[in-house]
Structure 1
């Protein structure tokens, strides 16, 4: 059975709050792990212009820990290479200074991408191999999140797993996301037969209550956890896949609907608490 310490909250759970208030929110609901995002900030950077010392003081005061920084890098993009290396290096150094466990990378989404599957695979291997070395020098790990969208260059977890093996990226793991599994129509049978649960480093959870097919569903439809009979993705059932497969890592809530950014502190707090209760109840 899952416990409170098994949960994590992504900053999109309360994107309208300042970073100090978001960290206080995590403490208030009893969650000690958070995910930061480079695309959500109240200032010029994802630390809301706090100094490293100020941010680390907040971590201590609110007893929270950065499990992951979600980066904006297109993982398999080899253009403007020197700028990308500089960006990954700088982010890795910040991650090390704030004690973050991981940096998360996502693949390219581009409907006009003319590369073959083999070229996409080779580009992923090339970049991950180098990023793995950069992160390794400062003791930070990496996460790869396959995106289930049809225009994604990396849709399936077993392909991502093969990429990590080919790159020999021992400090990288996969993210399993119930939304992206729904989009890519990854089944429990697929997961059990094709994915090594030991290569999964984080679970992302959300729910969709509108009657949308995998092809129609978008990030804007993703909310906090709903009962299975209301959720077209059946995220509670998906969460049980991972428990039954002996996954022992964190479960993080990632509701991406833009209107959540307008929600009050108390509403976000209640939705997080309700989501935790639903997942624990199974």
Structure 2
């Protein structure tokens, strides 16, 4: 059995308050969490001060490894710059180590040449902002066919093009890795791994969406265990963060038990 370092994304239990979510992580022996800025009626979107989130995390003995996320980051403009600065400031004030960067996912910005240029422009603009705050930018390619940044290799090339290796890392999301059909792993450039599974045998890969993403178990179609093993065996030493979007998971009557079972399964298989 491999001793993996797990983390918990607030999307695992989005209805819980930050305090209850942090308590859940602690109960599982997890010391690293990801907070989000897209949960209606919850922090950060409800105006909860960063200092309050920092104090709660410290009370539970937790590290906030990221805020998830700056959306449409590779559509760089004045609005995006303001949004980025707000999130970077919040990250610094709450003690978060990184900001997840999510690309355009509406079918635009996909053209060859255009998407690479847009990526470099955004990374070049974000680099000094992140460096000044001491925050890492975590670039997360999405595997959906309509996404403007599907390839982790392309993300790494963009980071290197702006000499951003010390400022940016990539997120390896097991769901999006599978959807993109990307075979190459970049463990040396990976700053975080998001894990979720799809078990429904009736869904075509091209039709897989966030609501299908559950906690990983033996019925997983995405080979999470194999992906985790490949990353681990090739030098990745960071966290594996649970990020299921399925309403089935969110409505679980015993989420602690469900997460614990997934942790045990992955540790045994990896």
TM normalised by structure 2 equals: 0.93
**Equivalent position of 2:223 in the other structure:** 234
Residues 6-58 of structure 1 deviation map (CA, whole Å, 9 limit, x = unaligned):
11011111011111110111111110100111112434x41754333322221
* Structure 2 portions without partners, runs of 5+: none
Match of 1:30 in 2: 29
The residue correspondences of 1:49-60 to structure 2 (distance < 5 A) are 49-60=47-58
Q: Which residue of 1 aligns with 2:160?
A: 165
Give secondary structure in 2 for the equivalent of 1:117.
coil
Q: Which residue of 1 aligns with 2:131?
A: 136
How far apart in 2 are the matches of 1:215 and 1:258? 20
Go from structure 1 to structure 2 and tell me whether the alpha carbon gap of 1:90 and 1:235 turns closer, same or farther (over 3 Å shift): same
The structural deviation recorded for 1:216 is 1.8
**Number of aligned residues:** 267
For residues 102-251 of structure 1, the aligned pairs below 5 Å read 102-111=98-107, 113=108, 116-169=111-164, 170-187=166-183, 190-191=184-185, 195=186, 197-211=187-201, 212-227=203-218, 230-251=219-240
Distance 1:120 1:34 in 2: 31
Q: Residues 16 and 260 of structure 1 are in contact (CA less than 8 Å); yes or no, is this contact kept in structure 2? A: no
Structure 2 residue 60 is the aligned partner of structure 1 residue 65:
no
CA RMSD of aligned residues (A): 1.6
The CA deviation string for residues 181-222 of structure 1, in whole angstroms up to 9 with x for no partner, is 1101123xx33xxx3x21110111111111133212111110
Distance 1:75 1:54 in 2: 27
Runs of 4 or more consecutive aligned structure 1 residues displaced over 4 Å after TM superposition: none
Q: TM-score scaled to structure 1, two decimals?
A: 0.90
